[in-house]
Structure 1
Amino acid sequence: MNVCFISNVIYPFVTGGAEKRIHEIGTRLAANGHDVTVYGRHFWDGPKEITHEGMTLRAVSPNRELYTDDDGRRSIGEALEFAKDVVVPLRRHVDEHDVVVASVFPYFPVLSSKLGVLGTDTPLVTTWHEVWGDYWDGYLGHLAPFGKGVEHATARIPQHPIAVSELTAGRLGDIGPEREQIRTVPNGIDYEQIRDTPPAEDGFDVLFAGRLIEDKRVDILLRAFDQVAPEEATLGIVGDGPERSELESLADSLSVAERITFTGFLEEYDDVLAQMQTGSIFATPSTREGFGITAVEAMAAGCTVIGADHPDSAVGEVVGDAGFLADPTVEGVANVLDRVLAGAEPTTEPRQRAQRFDWDQVAEDALDAYTAAATDEW
């Protein structure tokens, strides 16, 4: 099969969940004899088209900053530019591809991908990581109707939709395709890589890893840890983002300030895994998670995961009974954290749960979906 992915960012030159999914699925398909091409921005050195780990990487747009400088939000101009740039190259090569897979978010490249396949026999598969809905109100303010309109328009174009969780599938079904037409293929992990990663020399008892933005609710975790952490217990905050300075100021004001460490962004993925191997508790009180990959990674490392019991988070769906959910308040997280610190264990062993999300299985499920789209058996 000849599979083409559309993604403005390409792993490992840019690291993030959506681009890593493409990399992990794509490299496995390529290793099994399939032809894989990724259309993206020119984030690497050298020619615009290269072969990387068996895949063809085709730059159709120049390197550009993804986030705006003033508020750390994704640049709308960047998404529009890439959407414009990808149409002609995709159209030129579309007959070579059995299926075109476009990642959502952002939305504009999905719309341009549809233009690229229009009038051909090549189907468009979309991978939905989240459906924002009313989240647009807080993200764009008075411009929220624009964001919602683009999201709805993207959901309603003819496509073969894949959602990474049942939560996202349900929300997508509310605004676009019929629910029974949406397939669910989760994000994944390299289970053996995580299992074989040695622990860090300097680790923490409780760990958070992720982008430091408001929705992650790291402030709740800091205050909860301050309330219940036993003497000598440590908390590590791995990641960076626009909320870091404010969170560091909050941590400095707490009685356990000397036991809280902000590591910043760790460039090597293995360094994050090493921290998970060292910790015993992974706490992620995020109130907006389309999937929750860090929770799966932490389970594979043997951590007990504490997630948020919130309608906008799929972590509960992912963790199941291999972890715990807490009300995303200081009191709610403190109560569950106190129980786990005291030795409470989940019903299912975390590593056992994590194995079902291994990338080998995810790639197999994704290929089944791509094949169904290409053979009109969706």
Structure 2
Amino acid sequence: MEIVFVYDAVYPWTKGGVERRLHEVGRRLSNEHNVKWLCVGWWGKEKRIQEGVELIPVCKAQQLYSRGRRTIREAMIFAASLLKKSRIKADVIDCQVFPYLSVFPFATRKELVLTWHEFWGDYWYEYLGKAGFFGKAVERIVAKLKARTIAVSETTRKALESLGIRATVIPNGVDFPRISEIPASSEEWDVIFVGRLIREKNLELLFDAMKLLPELNCLVVGDGPERERLSKIAPANVDFGGSLGYEEVISMMKSSKVFAIPSRREGFGISALEANACGLPVVTIRHQMNAVVEIAEKTGFVAEPHARDFAEKIRLALEMRREMREKCINFAKNFDWEVIARRLEEFYEGVHSPPNEGRAE
């Protein structure tokens, strides 16, 4: 098959969950298929092959974030630049829905697949204020396009179902064999958080919980626009590890005891699944837009969104971590990227089914 991914950010130039997914499944699918990725040229204007995937830049590098948010300007430039590739030869065109505008150059293609990592709905108003009306409108227009639809979590699938859209859940994954080979760090931590330091991660709640657990230590791994502010309000038992390479992150997880992620919004939460693969139980909070709940309900604990309950769930996870270790690891094995790639391949093979099959009756 000729498989074309459409998404602006590319791993490892940026390290979010979407680009990780495309990188991992793309390099596996490229063993048997021709895989291309229409993207922003973060490295320059020339095409390049990365682990079997042909990266095709359609525009030069742009400013991706401003004040912790994706820039509309970058989304518009990327979408406009895709117009010249709208007739690219393909059996499957898999558009990652966010940032929405990049879907429209391929809206009439019968090979179109829409992969939803989140559905925002009314959250647009919290994200953009009154201007959120336009974001919400564009999201709904994209949702109504005739295309085969993938959701990476049950949380997103249910949100789409409320609009009459039937989606197939094909989740994100982990590189389980590679994780198994990485040794633990010599440094030890009771609690670890890994993620981009943005307001949606809700790290203030983790800090408040750690104030109630002064006998424990916590490591925050990651970087982002909130780094400076968060470093000023963090309690004494919280340290910042900065942005680390993949093996360093896994090594730190393996030397920790509990993975804590108090996010208000997560489309999936690959880092939580990686923590499971390292044998760590996951503690998160209950929120309608937090898909990590789906993981923590099986391999950890879900707290109410206040510091005392979050602290209690961390303490409970610490007490039960040894008996939960094998359960966490076995759960993560089901999400190995090889398994996810084969599921995606099977879905792609059915792309030419009637277009109304992707819509609920």
**Deviating 4+ runs (over 3 angstroms):** 342-348, 374-378
What is the root-mean-square deviation in Å for CA atoms of aligned residues?
Answer: 1.7
TM-score by length of 2: 0.94
User: Which of residues 153, 166, 172 in structure 1 aligns to 2:141?
Assistant: 153
Does 2:336 correspond to 1:337?
Answer: no
2:201 paired residue number:
216
Q: What is the CA-CA distance between 1:321 and the residue it aligns to?
A: 2.4
TM-score by length of 1: 0.89
1:52 paired residue number:
50
1:72 paired residue number:
68
Q: What is the CA-CA distance between 1:244 and the residue it aligns to?
A: 2.0
1:371 paired residue number:
349
1:25 paired residue number:
25
User: Which of residues 104, 107, 110 in structure 2 aligns to 1:111?
Assistant: 104
Q: After TM superposition, list the pairs within 5 Å mapping 1:257-268 onto structure 2.
A: 257=236, 259-266=237-244, 268=245
2:92 paired residue number:
99
Q: Give secondary structure in 2 for the equivalent of 1:357.
A: coil
Distance 1:291 1:201 in 2: 29
Aligned 8 A contact 1:228 1:337 in 2? no
Counterpart of 1:234, as a letter, is N
2:272 paired residue number:
295
Q: After TM superposition, list the pairs within 5 Å mapping 1:134-283 onto structure 2.
A: 134-175=122-163, 178-179=164-165, 181-230=166-215, 233-251=216-234, 254=235, 257=236, 259-266=237-244, 268-283=245-260
Q: 1:244-296: per-residue Cα shift (whole Å, max 9, x none)?
A: 22222222xx4xx0x32111222x11111111111110001112111111110
Q: What is the CA-CA distance between 1:12 and the residue it aligns to?
A: 2.2
Does 2:303 correspond to 1:315?
Answer: no
Aligned 8 A contact 2:79 2:101 in 1? yes
Aligned 8 A contact 1:324 1:346 in 2? no
Aligned 8 A contact 1:306 1:323 in 2? yes
Residue 42 and residue 346 in structure 1: after superposition, are their counterparts in 2 closer, same or farther (change >3 A)?
same
Q: 1:330-356: per-residue Cα shift (whole Å, max 9, x none)?
A: 011011112223346549710011111
Distance 1:59 1:342 in 2: 50
Which blocks of at least 5 consecutive residues in structure 1 are unaligned? none
Q: What is the CA-CA distance between 1:79 and the residue it aligns to?
A: 0.5
Which blocks of at least 5 consecutive residues in structure 2 are unaligned? none
Distance 2:174 2:190 in 1: 23
Q: 1:6-59: per-residue Cα shift (whole Å, max 9, x none)?
A: 11122223221101111111111111x2110111111124x5222221111111
Does 2:113 correspond to 1:81?
Answer: no
Task: Choose 103-112 or 306-315, whichever is displaced more.
Answer: 306-315
**For this pair of structures, how many residues does the alignment match?**
355
Q: What is the CA-CA distance between 1:242 and the residue it aligns to?
A: 2.4
2:36 paired residue number:
37
Q: Give secondary structure in 1 for the equivalent of 2:193.
A: strand
Distance 1:10 1:312 in 2: 25
Residue 325 and residue 205 in structure 1: after superposition, are their counterparts in 2 closer, same or farther (change >3 A)?
same
Distance 1:339 1:270 in 2: 28
Counterpart of 2:65, as a letter, is Y
Task: Choose 49-58 or 151-160, whichever is displaced more.
Answer: 49-58
Q: What is the CA-CA distance between 1:201 and the residue it aligns to?
A: 2.5
Q: 1:177-198: per-residue Cα shift (whole Å, max 9, x none)?
A: x34x311100011011112111
Aligned 8 A contact 2:90 2:111 in 1? no
Distance 1:56 1:36 in 2: 6
Distance 1:21 1:218 in 2: 25
